[in-house]
Amino acid sequence: MNWTLIPTTRLSFPTDLSKAEILRRVQEKLDSPENNTPRKEFDGVVEADGFEVWEVYRRSGGNSFSPMIKANIVETDMGNDIQIRLQMRGCVWAFLLVWCYPFALMLFMTLVLLFREGVGALDWSILLIIFMPAFMITLAVTGFRAGNRAANAFVQDILAGKHS
């Protein structure tokens, strides 16, 4: 498993379906009745060369860190290749930055104090200051990776024709 601070995943799905058929299946999946359940739904935009899809949660209990699916459909000799990039949404980045900023500032001030006063000034509060941003980053990365399964299942359902 490759851990990064900026969770992004790239996938590729070769298929013999035409571009128009892939886009039709995506739109049909987005419009399907089972997609509009009270707990979870996918929403998105279908464009000429690809689509963007994201998970929408109407009630509590969902994974806010689920990735956005950005897909481009590229024609190949064997048919088409759906090239997907899974990335965190902007609102999640804003949440993480706002939440982690005070702790990063406290860490900076603690390090300045440490260099000025020496190691004797180090106490247990620095562990909390380091732990909280690390906890939030781990939570975001873990939630993102869990959301990858749902995104992968969405694309697999489209390719398998399980859209209505």
| CA gap 158, 164 in Å, rounded | 10
pLDDT at residue 9, as a whole number: 81
Task: Please tell me the predicted confidence (pLDDT) of residue 122.
Answer: 58
In the chain, the number of structural domains is 1
- Residue found under tokens 């390719």: 159
84 contacts 155 by C-beta, under 8 angstroms: yes
Positions of the chain with pLDDT lower than 70, given as ranges: 1-6, 36-40, 57-63, 118-128, 161-164
Residue ranges making up the domain that contains 78: 1-164
Q: What is the pLDDT of residue 164?
A: 36
Give the per-residue pLDDT at 117.
Answer: 74
pTM of the model: 0.69
| Cα 132 to Cα 109: distance, rounded to the nearest angstrom | 16
Q: For 107-143, what is each residue's pLDDT tens digit?
A: 787 778 777 776 665 566 666 677 777 787 787 788 7
User: Which residues, listed in sequence order, are joined to residue 81 by a DSSP beta bridge?
Assistant: 14, 74
User: At 100, which amino acid appears?
Assistant: C
Judge contact between 67 and 152, C-beta under 8 A: no
